[in-house]
Amino acid sequence: MKDNHEETVLFRVDGEEVANKSRKVLIAVYQALKEKGYNPLNQLVGYLLSGDPAYITSHQNARSMIRQVERDELLEEIVGTYIDLAEQDKL
User: What are the start-end ranges of the E strands in the chain?
Assistant: none
Residue 67 lies in a domain: yes
Mean pLDDT split into 10-residue runs, the chain, 91 residues: 69 67 96 98 98 98 97 95 89 62
**Domain region containing 44:** 16-87
For residues 40 and 30, give the distance between their C-alpha atoms in angstroms, rounded to a whole number.
Answer: 5
Largest CA distance in the chain: 53
Say if CB 38 and CB 26 are below 8 A apart.
no
Residue 11, in any domain of the structure: no
pLDDT value of residue 75: 96
Helices and strands: H and E segment counts in the chain: 4, 0
Residue 2 lies in a domain: no
pTM of the model: 0.78
* Domains: count for the chain: 1
| Domain assignment of residue 1, yes or no | no
